[in-house]
């Protein structure tokens, strides 16, 4: 009962913050659950991806029905297509690396190390982004290529995309914070859908308890609802501060996870 409530709580708050910042929530769920060792890394990656998918599905649908969506389909759609392909490739990469070693802790350590490097880079960029000249790419082929890279990284790390997507949208497409957040959720939805389909088709779904999945998905959807409500009431500067604080927290958790999985 305690574990079930903990899963619901983590997914709710992670998805709420993820919805506000446009990071999906998986970048919080994955390292936090890894740090507590509740289940093996493959199950955590899969359940985290399912939770992120449920939250982004709600957010994208809500934005479309409201008629106030800031998704730029000229850029967002080719990015999403690339991310979907990348999601499948990233999932296969994870399965391959996991098959090389019976020690699941090594896989967890590799994921934590990569996520740490990516998060530090994104934190540095976010702090100094006002001094860095952003690009404004509109070429569809370039968008697909960028989306492919995003999908591979997010699916392999089991985080759904999150801060990686945001940083890319800031730099390559000159988006504002809130526009980037909404477009990031749109991209994450496609990459996670493709990753889930790939797991089902290749029969590589790890063992897990169904009620854990239901609780995490419920937490993801409820968090998405709460996050959308908060997002409407705060400005871009507040979102940026929340994002930076979150990156610092994730860096600390990943340092702990690397130590935990290695020693």
State pLDDT tens for residues 187-208.
Answer: 888 888 888 888 888 888 989 8
For the cut 70, the answer to whether the pLDDT of residue 36 exceeds it is yes
- Rounded distance, CA 136 to CA 207, Å? 43
163 half-sphere exposure, CB direction, 13 A CA radius: 28
Q: How many CB atoms lie within 10 A of CB 88?
A: 20
For residue 66 the two structure tokens come to 């409201």
**What is the average pLDDT across 45-63?**
85
CA distances 161 to 5, 26, 42, 52, Å, are: 25, 8, 17, 9
Q: Quick one: pLDDT at residue 217?
A: 93
Q: Quick one: pLDDT at residue 79?
A: 92
At residue 73 the predicted structure's pLDDT band, cuts being 50, 70 and 90, is confident
Q: Please, is 101 exposed, middle or buried when counting C-beta atoms within 10 Å of its C-beta (0-12, 13-18, 19+)?
A: exposed
**Which of 125-139, 181-195, 202-216, 240-254 has the weakest average pLDDT?**
181-195
**What is the average pLDDT across 81-104?**
84
Give the chain's mean pLDDT: 86
Give, rounded to a whole angstrom, the gap between the first and last alpha carbons of the chain: 30
- Kindly report the three-state secondary structure assignment for every residue of 29-54: HHHHHHHHCCCCHHHHHHHHHHHHHH
- Rounded distance, CA 75 to CA 173, Å? 8
Q: Quick one: pLDDT at residue 39?
A: 86
Q: Quick one: pLDDT at residue 146?
A: 94
Q: What's phi and psi for 202, nearest 5 deg? A: -85, 0
At residue 100 the predicted structure's pLDDT band, cuts being 50, 70 and 90, is confident
**What is the average pLDDT across 213-222?**
93
Q: Quick one: pLDDT at residue 161?
A: 64
Q: Quick one: pLDDT at residue 10?
A: 93
- Rounded distance, CA 192 to CA 190, Å? 6
For residue 73 the two structure tokens come to 């389909």
For the cut 70, the answer to whether the pLDDT of residue 166 exceeds it is yes
| More confident: 153 or 248 | 248
């Amino acid at each position: 009962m305690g574990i079930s409530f903990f899963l619901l709580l983590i997914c709710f708050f992670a998805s709420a913050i993820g919805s506000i910042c446009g990071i999906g929530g998986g970048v919080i769920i994955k390292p936090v659950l890894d740090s507590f060792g509740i289940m093996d890394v493959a199950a955590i990656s899969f359940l985290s991806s399912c939770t992120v998918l449920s939250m982004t599905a709600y957010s994208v649908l809500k934005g479309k029905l409201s008629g106030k969506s800031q998704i730029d389909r000229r850029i967002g759609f080719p990015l999403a297509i690339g991310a979907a392909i990348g999601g499948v490739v990233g999932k296969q990469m994870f399965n391959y690396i996991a098959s090389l070693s019976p020690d699941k802790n090594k896989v967890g350590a590799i994921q934590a190390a990569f996520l740490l490097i990516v998060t530090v880079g994104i934190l540095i960029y976010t702090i100094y982004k006002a001094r860095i000249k952003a690009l404004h790419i509109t070429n569809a082929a370039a968008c697909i290529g960028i989306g492919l890279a995003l999908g591979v990284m997010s699916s392999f790390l089991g985080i759904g995309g999150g801060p990686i997507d945001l940083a890319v949208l800031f730099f390559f497409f000159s988006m504002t914070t809130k526009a980037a957040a909404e477009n990031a959720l749109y991209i994450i939805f496609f990459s996670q859908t493709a990753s889930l389909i790939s797991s089902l088709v290749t029969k590589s779904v790890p063992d897990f308890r169904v009620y854990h999945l239901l609780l995490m998905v419920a937490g993801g959807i409820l968090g998405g609802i709460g996050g959308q409500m908060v997002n409407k009431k705060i400005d871009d500067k507040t979102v940026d501060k929340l994002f930076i604080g979150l990156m610092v927290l994730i860096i600390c958790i990943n340092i702990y996870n690397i130590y935990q999985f290695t020693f």
